Amino acid sequence: MEAYFIISILINILKNMKAKKKILIIEDDTLFSEFCSDFLKKEGFLVFTAIDGEQGVEKARKEKPDLILLDIILPKMTGYEVLKEIRKNVNSDLAKVPVIILTNLSQEKGKFEGLGIECYLIKVSTDAKEVIKKVKRVFKRKS
């Protein structure tokens, strides 16, 4: 009977772990990344971070996030290159992952049209509550 109880608890833990949406933040500003990560974790999301474009693509392939927050100016690969890389195999699950651009470059928005981004947010005029609101809206729309 005790073994059944333990197995039941483990199954519930695994279900809860699966229920958490995974978000990958690809951002070279570690302070900003940690700030966003903390807010998203408090909202119940499982958060991974990458500090450059190459690491971002690797983590996206490994962790299979449900959403990506992507900066444009990154070391090793730009956000634009990251997005093209994850979208290149249109039949893969990774190509279907929603992406929110989070940057300070307002003039680059047009470059991302046609690459399937959810929205384009400017860091200096967007607070954490707005980011969380957009993230939740994407998940609500995708469910």
Convert the pLDDT of each residue in 78-105 to its tens digit: 999 999 899 887 778 888 999 999 888 7
Q: Please count the other Cβ atoms lying within 10 Å of the Cβ belonging to residue 110.
A: 8
Please say if the pLDDT value at position 77 is more than 90: yes
H-helix segments, the chain: 2-19, 30-42, 53-63, 79-87, 128-142
Q: Which domains are assigned to the chain?
A: 21-142 (3.40.50.2300)
Read off the pTM: 0.82
Question: Can you spell out the DSSP letters for 98-115?
Answer: -EEEEES-GGGGGGGTTS
Residue closest to 34 by CA, chosen among 25, 21, 43: 25
Which residue in this structure is represented by tokens 């690969």?
A: 77
pLDDT value for 46: 94
